[in-house]
Amino acid sequence: MKIQKEKEQPEIPTASMADIAFLLIVFFMLTTVISATKGIEHILPQQDKDTETQVEKEESIYIKINADGTYTVDQKEPRSIRDMGFLKDYVYAKVSRNYKKPIIIHVNPEANYESMIAVLDTLKQVEEQVAKEGRLPADKGLTISIPTSAELEAWGY
Amino acid sequence: MKLRKTKTIEAYIPTASMADIAFLLIVFFMITTVFQVDKTKLILPASIVRSEVVKGSAFVVVTEEGYIKVSDGKEDTHPIDASDVLSFAVDLMSKDPEHHVVLKVDKRVKWHVVDKILEQLEQARVKNLQFLTKLKTNQQ
Judge: B18–A18 Cβ closer than 8 Å, yes or no: yes
Q: What does each of the 157 residues of chain A score in pLDDT, given as a tens digit?
A: 666 777 788 887 777 877 888 888 888 878 776 655 788 888 887 766 544 556 665 678 889 899 888 999 888 888 888 888 888 998 998 888 888 888 889 999 999 999 999 999 999 999 988 888 887 887 778 888 888 888 877 777 6
Judge: B110–A45 Cβ closer than 8 Å, yes or no: no
Range of the structural domain that residue A97 is part of: 61-155
Instruction: For residue A113, give Cα distances in angstroms to A83, B35, B105.
Output: 17, 27, 8
Cβ within 8 Å of residue A141, ≥6 positions away: A43, A127
B46-135 CATH fold? Nucleotidyltransferase; domain 5 (3.30.420)
Instruction: Confirm whether A18 is domain-assigned.
Output: no
Count interface pairs A-B at CB distance under 8 A: 154
**Above 90 in pLDDT, residue B90?**
yes
Judge: B18–A121 Cβ closer than 8 Å, yes or no: no
Residue A2 has what pLDDT? 65
Q: Which of A40, A44, A117 faces B126 most closely, judged by CB atoms? A: A44
Q: What is the ipTM of this complex?
A: 0.75
- Which of A113, A120, A121, A142 should be substituted to probe chain B, the one whose Cβ sees the most B Cβ atoms within 10 Å? A113
Instruction: Confirm whether A88 is domain-assigned.
Output: yes
| pLDDT over 90 percentage in chain B | 31
d(CA B49, CA A150): 29
Instruction: Work out the pLDDT band at B75, boundaries 50, 70, 90.
Output: confident
Transcribe B78-129 into DSSP letters: EEE-GGGHHHHHHHHHHH-TT--EEEEE-TTSBHHHHHHHHHHHHHTT--EE
pLDDT digits (tens, 9 = 90+) for B96-107: 888 999 999 999
Amino acid type, A113:
Y
Residue A50 has what pLDDT? 47
Residue B1 has what pLDDT? 66
d(CA B105, CA B113): 10
Burial of B11 (0-12, 13-18, 19+ CB in 10 A): exposed
Number of domains in chain A: 1
Instruction: Confirm whether A94 is domain-assigned.
Output: yes
State the nearest Cα–Cα gap between A47 and chain B, in angstroms: 7
Q: Which of B29, B113, B131 faces A25 most closely, judged by CB atoms? A: B29
Integer Rg of chain B from CA: 26
The domain ranges of chain B are: 46-135
